[in-house]
Amino acid sequence: MERSGLIREMEGIVGAEGVIHEHEQLRTYECDGLMNYRVIPDLVVLPETGEHVQRIVKLCYDEGIPFVARGSGTGLSGGALPVESGVLIVLSRMRKILEVDIPNQRIVVEPGVVNMWVSQEVADEGYYYAPDPASQIVSSIGGNLAENSGGVHCLKYGFTTNHVMGAEVVLPDGSVTHIGGGRAPDAPGYDLLGAFVGSEGTLGIATRITLRLCRVPEAVRTLLAAFEGTEGAGGAVSGIIGEGIIPAAIEMMDRLTMEAVEAAVHPGLPDAGAVLVIELDGPEAEVEEQFGRVLEICKENEATEIRVAEDDDERALFWKARKAAFGAMGRISNDYYVQDGVIPRTELPAVLGKISELAGRYGLRVANVFHAGDGNLHPLVLYDNDTEGEAEKAEKLAGEIVFACLEHGGSLTGEHGIGEDKKKYMPKMFTDDDMNVMQLLRCAFDPHQLANPGKIFPTPRLCGERPGPFQMHPLQKAGVVEQF
């Protein structure tokens, strides 16, 4: 189909104001939060209903046009990077909260609903939505679902995948299906929802999402503890976990991170080599006693200063400091690269040592901020784009850091996803067989590889000949991919 014909068809579905096709306007959508990859899509379409999405995807399927779904575009792995000659389906107009069901502790939302709105919607009822990525004031539930987003409170409460209970999904052939029980437990059949959450937009588009709501805890206690270095802070983390305490959150920032945060949001952080922000929540009696133990453990690990949040304002200040960390890097560096790696918690000292050694060898600064409780590191590699070759050096260093995570038994990504950014590293973590078997799932959902093609896996595989709207995949015709 000619481009003009496609525009006309899309306008027939969503109206003229829902289709963006002028080059300059399309550039707004050329990247997501990973800004070193840019692709201008052929068209951007902004559906307002699930039916719109279904018709758009069906049209793409009939015409053999690849499509990419995008929420708020805050992703850090290029998961919403458009594909050339493809359609970008932007879900930011689907922002309705459809049903609130407090008795069953569920809420049903459209994919464009912003994470934070969910908790705000049910706050008066004493409920909240637990997964809280740092981007939560902007990022959408649909995007969170696609990436299986984490957050600072997932040590105790789990990740997005533990909180999505059901979804209406538009499959890549334009059909609609409902996966997961929603309000009812244990839907029979394979756990298709478990496989779909975190599939980075490669299996279809969720158009209606049922989330689990959590009761606001009776008591919350938060402290900020300063240490001379990351060793002491790490020792405290091990001590707390070793006691059998699962805090709602344990976050660590190193000196460089604190310097940036101080410059950006002036929280008045102590002068120290590392700080921990530790939060406990739950029933009052339990929290009080465990909080006492946590204080002792911090002291045993030679905390130089401990501040206990006296009220909600001070607690909010601690969290503001932590959540501002990424953005604050702009204060101390022109450019920075956010890495996301995971290690077993006990490997923390070894890996931090390795990161510092690598930083020295590359002559670049690396700020460390991470979810210490679950071993999820976010090293921020600082560089200057105006200095010749430094961007490449930074990316290479960031790569070496994530290899160090793998060597120590960890993972390529804890919460940002593989997307475009890390697919080249996948063979370091998985064998060809591992990836081929994973892609069997892709073949079941999307045999023609139209949904977000080219992401996650370094080598796309085709799924065998099937009767369908077109005989040979264009990528296969061009010799880009092999038959599977």
Partner 1 sequence: MQTEKGLTEDLRRIVGPDNVHEATEEDAVEGVEPDFVVEPGSVEEVSALMKLAAREGLAVAPRGGGTKMHIGDPPRRLDLIVSTARMNEVLEHTPGDQIVRLQAGVKLEDLQKYVSSSDQMLAIDPPESGATVGGIVAANSSGPRRYRYGTIRDLIIGITVVLHDGTVAKAGGKVVKNVAGYDLSKLFTGSLGTLGVIATANFRLHPRPEASRTVAVEVTEPQQAQAAAQAIVHSQVEATAVELHYGENEKLLAVLLESISGGIDAKAETASFLLKQYGEVRTLSQEEADRLGSLTSPQVVMKIGAPPVDLAAVLESVLGAVERKGLAHPRITGHAGTGVTLVGLSEETEDGAAGFVEEMREIWVRRGGSVTLQRAPLTLKQRVSTWDNGGDYLGLVRRVKEKFDPRGGMNPGRFLGGN
Q: Is residue 172 classed as helix, strand or coil in its secondary structure?
A: coil
- Of residues 287-346, which lie at the interface with partner 1 (CB under 8 A)? 289-290, 342-346
Q: CA–CA separation, 462 vs 71, rounded Å?
A: 27
User: Is 128 one of the binding residues for partner 1 (CB under 8 A)?
Assistant: no
167/275 with CB nearer partner 1: 167
Token output for 181: 């029980």
Q: Are 342 and 413 in contact (CB under 8 A)?
A: yes
Among 422, 448, 461, 473, binds partner 1 (CB under 8 A): 422
Least Cβ distance, residue 71 to partner 1 (angstroms): 16
- Of residues 224-243, which lie at the interface with partner 1 (CB under 8 A)? 238, 241-242
User: Is 148 one of the binding residues for partner 1 (CB under 8 A)?
Assistant: yes
C-alpha dist (Å) from residue 412 to 11, 367, 424, 430: 40, 18, 11, 10
User: Is 130 one of the binding residues for partner 1 (CB under 8 A)?
Assistant: no
User: Is 33 one of the binding residues for partner 1 (CB under 8 A)?
Assistant: no
Tell me the window of 5-13, 25-33, 55-63, 215-223 that interacts with partner 1 (CB under 8 A). Answer: 215-223
243/271 with CB nearer partner 1: 243
Least Cβ distance, residue 470 to partner 1 (angstroms): 19
Least Cβ distance, residue 401 to partner 1 (angstroms): 15
Instruction: Name which of 125, 151, 115 is nearest 249 in CA terms.
Output: 151
Least Cβ distance, residue 448 to partner 1 (angstroms): 13
- Of residues 379-418, which lie at the interface with partner 1 (CB under 8 A)? 409-418
At 56, give phi and psi (nearest 5°): -65, -45
- Of residues 278-297, which lie at the interface with partner 1 (CB under 8 A)? 282-286, 289-290
- Binding-site size, partner 1 (CB under 8 A): 91
User: Is 482 one of the binding residues for partner 1 (CB under 8 A)?
Assistant: no
Q: CA–CA separation, 326 vs 283, rounded Å?
A: 32
Least Cβ distance, residue 12 to partner 1 (angstroms): 26
What is the side-by-side order of every strand in the sheet holding 106-109?
Answer: 97-101, 106-109, 205-212, 164-170, 176-179
252/328 with CB nearer partner 1: 252
User: Is 176 one of the binding residues for partner 1 (CB under 8 A)?
Assistant: yes
User: Is 187 one of the binding residues for partner 1 (CB under 8 A)?
Assistant: yes
Q: Are 411 and 417 in contact (CB under 8 A)?
A: no
- Of residues 358-377, which lie at the interface with partner 1 (CB under 8 A)? 371, 374-376
As beta bridge partners, residue 307 has 224
Among 11, 36, 217, 331, binds partner 1 (CB under 8 A): 217
Q: Is residue 87 classed as helix, strand or coil in its secondary structure?
A: strand
382/429 with CB nearer partner 1: 429
Please name the amino acid found at residue 117: W
Residue 372 makes CB contacts below 8 A (sequence gap 6+) with 233, 234, 237, 250, 251, 252, 276, 345, 348
User: Is 429 one of the binding residues for partner 1 (CB under 8 A)?
Assistant: yes
Residue 132 makes CB contacts below 8 A (sequence gap 6+) with 115, 151, 152, 153
User: Is 462 one of the binding residues for partner 1 (CB under 8 A)?
Assistant: no
- Of residues 10-29, which lie at the interface with partner 1 (CB under 8 A)? none
User: Is 197 one of the binding residues for partner 1 (CB under 8 A)?
Assistant: yes
User: Is 194 one of the binding residues for partner 1 (CB under 8 A)?
Assistant: yes
User: Is 171 one of the binding residues for partner 1 (CB under 8 A)?
Assistant: yes
Q: Are 144 and 154 in contact (CB under 8 A)?
A: no
Among 16, 98, 263, 440, binds partner 1 (CB under 8 A): 440
- Of residues 59-98, which lie at the interface with partner 1 (CB under 8 A)? none
Least Cβ distance, residue 151 to partner 1 (angstroms): 10
**Please, what's the b/e burial string for 87-113 (b: 16 or more CB within 10 A of its CB; e: otherwise)?**
bbbbbbbbbebeeeeeeebbbbbbbbb
DSSP 397-437: HHHHHHHHHHHTT-BS-SSS--TTTSGGGHHHHS-HHHHHH
